[in-house]
Every structure is written in C-alpha cells, then in structure tokens.
A and B are shown apart, each in its own frame.
Chain A
Amino acid sequence: QVQVQQWGAGLLNPSETLSLTCAAYGPSFSGTYRTWIRQSPGKGLEWIGEINDTGSVNHNPSLKSRVTISMDTSKNQFSLKLSSVTAADTAVYYCRQAWCSAGTCSDSWGQGTLVTVSA
C-alpha cells in the first residue's frame, strides 16, 4: 500500500512563498496522478493542481501563475510552491497520490498541513 507524508512551513507572512513537499512510500504504479488540494477553515475542497508520470502539469487557473508543481522521481517526491500568498491562501493543504491497478483505483492522502498567512 502506498503511504504519503507531507511537510512544509505552516506560518507565512503575506507576499511570501508557500512551499510543501510530499513523499510517497511503497510500490509504484504507472499512470499515477499526484495532486495538491486545499481546504479553507470550515469550507470545502479546492483542487490546486496535479502532475502525472510524464511530468505534465495541470493547475487551477484561479491561482493564475502563482502555482508551481514539480516532482523528483529519484526521491519519489512531489512539491507545491505558491507565490505571493495572502490571507485568502490560509487553508489545510493536502497532497494526494492516486493510481489504478488490476482494474480498481486507490488513493493515499498526506496528513494535511495547516498553512496560516498572517502578518
């Protein structure tokens, strides 16, 4: 079973860059999608973006050009950077890895990182 663990700074000043990393442990599967999702306090889920096995990135246009998603296949890690943060970016950030094998799909989520943006 794949397990993912995430880490990164939890308190930022406005205009700084959020930086989070997620590491996956366990078997590898082709066709894996690595995704970042956030949840503002007491709110629903917002898709930030994803990167697939080939390194192709897809991100939410609502975040404009502030998002960078990358991966390091040698370490089985993927990362999120969100620049010029404001209070509106305060949320719990999750990484998620999803894969399909033998006709069924599964996912594994990180534990979540509460990122607070405050002066």
Chain B
Amino acid sequence: DIVLTQSPGTLSLSPGERATLSCRASQSLSNNLLAWYQQRPGQAPRLLIHGASMRASGIPDRFSGSGSGTDFSLTISRLEPEDFAVYYCQQYDTSPRTFGQGTKVEIK
C-alpha cells in the first residue's frame, strides 16, 4: 500500500496568514493522482483539489495544490475563519486508495 505522510501534524496560524501543508508518498504517483480534502468539525470532508493541482468545482482560488511524483503541497494563500479545519491528502493512483493522517490548521 502507498503510505502518505502529512506534515506538520498541526499548524497554528492567524487569519490572513499563508498556510502550506505537505504530503509525501512512499512511492511515486503516476499522473499525479493526488487529492486534498477539508474536514470541518462535525462535518463530512469535501474535495478541494484533484490531480494534485486542479481545484474542484466551487473551491475558492485561495486554495492551490502543487507537486509531482512523491512530494505534494496544499497552500492556502490567506486564511479565512472558515479555513481552520483538518486537511487530508489521498492518493487514487493505486488500490487501496490511501489517506494521509491529516494536518490540523488551528487558530493561533
């Protein structure tokens, strides 16, 4: 199975600041088949980014994804209050699809 390692575990930032989250895969993902999800407390996750860098429908442009091969990142350019949540990466290159353990973005 492909193991995804997210860092940091927790990111403490203030509204308006920039957040950069990392996701590293244990083996290279062909066609960069990596997605990012946001999960707010008490809610289901939602898709933010697919194909490593493509925003899902309706996702604000302050969210951007980048990377290839084994190293990927999610950047939130200016944190809004509703962005404080847990973020997961997921690979859908091979089965079983696997998730990272999550990065919590909390208010500093």
Residues of A within 8 A of B (CB): 37, 44-47, 50, 58-62, 94, 96, 98, 104-107, 109-112
Contacts and interface: CB of A to CB of B under 8 A. Distances in A.
Contacts of A112: 44
B32 interface: no
Interface in B43-99: 44-47, 50-51, 54-58, 88, 90, 95-99
B101 A44 contact: yes
B97 A107 contact: no
B50 to A, nearest CB: 5
B47 A60 contact: no
Nearest to A35: B97
B55 A104 contact: yes
Given A45-B88, A45-B90, A98-B47, A105 B57 contact: yes
Given A47-B97, A47-B98, A60-B96, A106 B47 contact: yes
Contacts of A44: 88, 99-102
Q: Contact residue range for chain B?
A: 20 to 34
Given A104-B55, A105-B54, A47 B44 contact: no
Interface string B8-48: 00000000000000000000000000000100000011110
Contacts of B54: 104-105
A94 B65 CA distance: 25
Given A104-B54, A104-B55, A109 B98 contact: no
A48 B106 CA distance: 29
Contacts of B102: 44-45
B63 to A, nearest CB: 13
A109 B96 contact: no
A37 B47 CA distance: 13
